[in-house]
Amino acid sequence: MKNFSLFIPTKYYFGWNSLEILPLKAKEIGKRAFLVTGKKFLKEKGILDKIKSMLKENGIEFFHYDNITPNPKTYEVDEGAGILKKEKCDFIIGIGGGSVMDASKGIAIMAKNKGSIWDYMMMKKEVKDALPVILVPTIPASGSEYNPGGVITNPDEKRKWFFRDDKVYPKISIVDPEFTKFLPFSYLSKGGVDIITHMLEPVLTSETYGYIQYNFSAKLIKGVIESIIKIKENKDDREARENLCYSASLALSGIPTRGIGGFAIMHWLEHILSGIFDNISHPVGLCLLLFPFIKIIK
């Protein structure tokens, strides 16, 4: 093993109907939330109304910002932070897929710093502070709920890049497998490719052996594949849905990957791809790259 460090300060809550604890946990963090979501999914499924009622009933004020698109853009993050400041919100609740969660972290940074999120991603400026963030993933994929990173696209430069700062480790994450029931199967399978790739690329490019990392990654990857097959065969397989959700969070937590070196080569390549072609979603980009990558690496 190489020397490494691990730091995972998120309070992580997992389980069916755990969404119900959101107001309780929100109260621990702040008074007025900046609620970040995407445009469609939560609204169409009737979940958004439920969330808003839950927050209101528990006396949590909020401003709802739903201007986040897939492959979230720098201007969406900057605009969000501007509105947040005007609305005087003191924390962020991000509910959605990786795009919404990453954008929420970006907004958390820009709520406490000046300029554009791109300046901080390009290391032109230093992140001094960030607002606290609560994340609720709706798709098991990015694992953004259990790490301090995010990926944002600069459309002017047609460039997708990342930030990673311990200051935006989510304070609290709530992972409720119930959300997976609202997703079409293709979302789960594409999300699964994202989860698998998060562990496969560091292991396949690792510089040193790690018994724990190799074996944990292998078991998680096997479990994700089996779970996707099980859900295809039986929509009511609760265990498979749990397994997908928990695997997504653990994949980028550091435990399956830290200490073996290796790097996220497929993610780098994919970011170039979907940075240029905004209509390619992240998991589809990964699917395009997965087999050529395995062919080259072996």
Interface residues with its own copies (CB under 8 A) are 1-16, 18, 209, 211-212, 215-216, 219-220, 223, 227, 239, 242-243, 246-247, 250, 255, 259
Closer Cβ to its own copies, 209 or 263, answer by number = 209
Q: Which of 91, 15, 72 is nearest to 243 (CA)?
A: 15
Place of tokens 């969000």: 80
| Token code pair at residue 194 | 């994202």
Shortest distance, CB of residue 271 to its own copies, whole angstroms?
Answer: 28
Shortest distance, CB of residue 222 to its own copies, whole angstroms?
Answer: 8
Shortest distance, CB of residue 158 to its own copies, whole angstroms?
Answer: 38
Shortest distance, CB of residue 144 to its own copies, whole angstroms?
Answer: 16
Helical packing angle, 238-251 and 211-233, nearest 10° = 140
At 13, which amino acid appears?
Y
Shortest distance, CB of residue 250 to its own copies, whole angstroms?
Answer: 7
Closer Cβ to its own copies, 155 or 223, answer by number = 223
Return d(Cα 189, Cα 216) in angstroms, integer.
21
DSSP 244-295: HHHHHHHHTSSTTTTTS----HHHHHHHHHHHH-TTS-HHHHHHHHHHHHHH
Closer Cβ to its own copies, 37 or 249, answer by number = 249
Closer Cβ to its own copies, 13 or 268, answer by number = 13
Shortest distance, CB of residue 287 to its own copies, whole angstroms?
Answer: 24
Return d(Cα 245, Cα 14) in angstroms, integer.
9
Shortest distance, CB of residue 176 to its own copies, whole angstroms?
Answer: 9
Closer Cβ to its own copies, 242 or 270, answer by number = 242
Tell me the Cα Rg of the chain: 18
Closer Cβ to its own copies, 76 or 242, answer by number = 242
Place of tokens 């109304």: 49
Q: How many residues does the chain have?
A: 298
Return d(Cα 298, Cα 294) in angstroms, integer.
6
Shortest distance, CB of residue 221 to its own copies, whole angstroms?
Answer: 11
Q: What is the dihedral of CA 176, 264, 268, 132, to 10 degrees?
A: 40
Helix or strand or coil: residue 237?
Answer: coil
Return d(Cα 265, Cα 261) in angstroms, integer.
12
Element housing 38 (H / E):
strand 32-38
Closer Cβ to its own copies, 28 or 49, answer by number = 28
Closer Cβ to its own copies, 10 or 99, answer by number = 10
